Amino acid sequence: MALLLEPEVDFADLVARPIASEPLVYVASADHPLAGREVGWDELAAQSFFVHEEGCSYSDRLVRTLLALPDARPRLTRFGSIEAARSCVAAGLGLTLLPRATVERQLRNGELAVVGGPEVPPVPVQLTRHRRRWVAPAARVVADQLARLARLVAG
Distance separating the N- and C-terminal Cα atoms of the chain: 24
Averaged pLDDT score across all residues of the chain? 88
* CA 67 from centroid of its chain's CA atoms: 19
Q: Confidence class of residue 6 from pLDDT cuts 50, 70 and 90? A: confident
Instruction: From 123, 1, 116, 154, select the one nearest 56 (Cα to Cα).
Output: 123
The model's pLDDT over 34-49, given as tens digits with 9 standing for 90+, comes to 999 999 999 999 999 9
Question: Rounded to an integer, what distance in angstroms lies between the CA atom of residue 56 and that of residue 133?
Answer: 26
pLDDT for residue 139: 80
Please tell me the class of the 24-121 domain. Answer: alpha beta
Domain extents in the chain: 1-20+125-155, 24-121
pLDDT for residue 83: 93
The model's pLDDT over 103-145, given as tens digits with 9 standing for 90+, comes to 999 999 999 999 999 999 998 888 888 888 877 788 888 878 8
pLDDT for residue 153: 65
Mean pLDDT, range 77-92, rounded to an integer: 94
Identify the top-confidence range among 66-70, 107-111, 147-151. Answer: 107-111
Q: Which residues pair with 80 in a beta bridge?
A: none
Mean pLDDT, range 48-65, rounded to an integer: 92
CA distances from 29 to 23, 89, 93, 147 (A): 19, 6, 8, 32
Evaluate the CA torsion angle 87, 75, 100, 60 in order and state its sign.
Answer: negative
Q: Under a CB-based contact definition with an 8 Å cutoff, are residues 21 and 124 in contact?
A: yes
What H or E segment, with its residue span, contains residue 15?
strand 14-22
Model confidence, pTM: 0.83
Backbone angles phi, psi at 77, to 5 degrees: -125, 130
pLDDT for residue 15: 83
